[in-house]
Amino acid sequence: MRRQNDFELGDANWLMNYFQTQYLEDPSFFNAVQLDNGAMITNIFWADSKMISDYGHFRDLLTFDTTYKLVYRNWPFAVFLSLKHHRETVVFGAVFMYDEITNSFGWLFNTFLNAMSHKAPRTILTDQDATMAKFSVRKLFGY
């Protein structure tokens, strides 16, 4: 029942409308929502065309850290990011994660690869989360 209380009435609709608006303004906008067995939202990923384009140019190093910040109803907010020339931060995608379980990480990294045309980063750094370690990021990215 906790998850039913996490999304207030209309929150999911607002988010889906936001994604639809983004897609209309940016046809390359990518988003995906993972649902659990009860059709409840568990994880939400998105990347706009600039993020996708930047990844094509700066995918030498990808960092991902779920400990960045707890936001919306204490869901971890995480970003896939790297550095551009002159050490400028570049964001490749963002995610709200309801739960940090192995299945969620598998879904997330597969979704990220789909958004980025299945181009693996050359190097990936994570926060060494124990649950994330159970999911083989190295295997998925072909290392």
Measure the CA–CA gap between 63 and 112, rounded to whole angstroms: 12
Identify whether the C-beta of residue 137 lies closer than 8 Å to the C-beta of residue 63.
no
Six-digit token pair at 116?
């980025």
What band does 131 get if pLDDT is binned at 50, 70 and 90? low
pLDDT in tens, 60-89: 989 887 766 665 566 778 899 999 988 899
Measure the CA–CA gap between 36 and 39, rounded to whole angstroms: 5
Domain of 9 in residue numbering reads as 2-140
Count of the separate structural domains present in the chain: 1
Measure the CA–CA gap between 32 and 44, rounded to whole angstroms: 6
pLDDT in tens, 84-116: 988 899 999 999 888 778 888 889 999 999 999
Identify whether the C-beta of residue 51 lies closer than 8 Å to the C-beta of residue 91.
yes
**Interstrand relation of 41-47 and 89-97 (parallel, antiparallel or unpaired):** antiparallel
